[in-house]
Amino acid sequence: MISQMKLMAILLSLLAFLILPGQGVAQKQRIAQATVPFEFWIEGYRLPAGDYQIEPLKSTSYLLFRSTDGKIVQGAYVLPLDDDPAKGGDSKLVFRIQNGTYYLYGGWGPFGRRVLTGESARPVPSGNDRAEVAIIYR
């Protein structure tokens, strides 16, 4: 028969095994940030150049852009182009340039490639009609 001390040690070991991995996951949560060097538009709203945090809310179908000083907050609904996560440093915001104005087209990140619903009827911008800004995770 197992002594009470051995049983208690086994139970504590099992409890530690179950709790510690969950704490590691919570610590790995990172914040997506991008420095956009130009004024840009998100679905009819103008945002100034600056530093932004990008947060998926409730699901991967809505992104919230928040300036790091907290003064500007703008959300955007997005549609998936695919669910393939961006590799390494390939996370980015993609902008469509039209007549010198920058419009957020979408973003490539850990949830795959997403395009703003208002931009979804347009082809992926390319060449001189496209600008990219890296997303950094901290």
**99 and 49 within one domain:** yes
pLDDT tens for 98-115 read 999 999 999 998 888 999
**91 and 24 within one domain:** no
pLDDT(24) > 60:
no
**38 and 63 within one domain:** yes
**68 and 36 within one domain:** yes
Q: How many domains does the chain have?
A: 2
**97 and 64 within one domain:** yes
Higher pLDDT among residues 57 and 84, named by residue? 84
Pick from 8, 29, 62: nearest CA to 138: 29
**68 and 7 within one domain:** no
**76 and 11 within one domain:** no
Boundaries of domain holding 5: 1-29
Token pair listed for 122:
């347009």
pLDDT tens for 110-134 read 888 999 999 999 999 999 999 999 9
The backbone torsions φ and ψ at residue 4, rounded to the nearest 5 degrees and listed phi first, read: -60, -35
Pick from 72, 116, 75: nearest CA to 94: 116
- Give the global pTM: 0.76
Q: What pLDDT does residue 9 have?
A: 38
When pLDDT is averaged across residues 57-68 and rounded to a whole number, the result is 82
Q: What pLDDT does residue 30 have?
A: 73
Q: How far apart (Å, rounded) are the C-alpha atoms in residues 102 and 116?
A: 14
pLDDT tens for 42-57 read 999 999 999 999 987 6
